[in-house]
Amino acid sequence: MTEADKAELKSTALALFGRLQSELDSALVLIDARRELAFRNACRSVIDCALHLYAAETDPQYD
C-alpha cells in the first residue's frame, strides 16, 4: 500500500467518523423530541457508519 493509498484511507475514515458523530447527535435530538421512528432510522445510520469505519480501519482492500 502506497503512502497515497494510506492517506486516502485515513481521509475516508475521518469522513466516516465525522458522519458517525453527526448521526449520533441527530439521534439524540430525535429521541429527546420523542420521534421514535426517526430515532430508529438515525440509529441504523449510526450502525452503518460504524461498520464502514471499522472496515476502513481494518481492511486494506476497503473501497
- Neighbouring residues of 21: CB distance < 8 A, sequence distance ≥ 6: none
In a domain, 17, yes or no: yes
Residue 1 in this model has a pLDDT that exceeds 80? no
Q: Which domain holds residue 46?
A: 3-58
- Give a yes or no: residue 25 inside a domain: yes
Report if residue 23 sits inside a domain. yes
Burial of 50 (0-12, 13-18, 19+ CB in 10 A): middle
Percentage of residues of the chain with pLDDT beyond 90: 46
**Predicted confidence band of residue 48 (pLDDT cuts 50, 70, 90):** very high
Q: How many domains does the chain have?
A: 1
Contact present, 56 and 16 (Cβ < 8 Å):
yes
Q: Residue 3: which pLDDT band, with cuts at 50, 70 and 90?
A: confident
Is the residue at 13 inside a domain? yes
Look at residue 50 and tell me if it is in a domain: yes
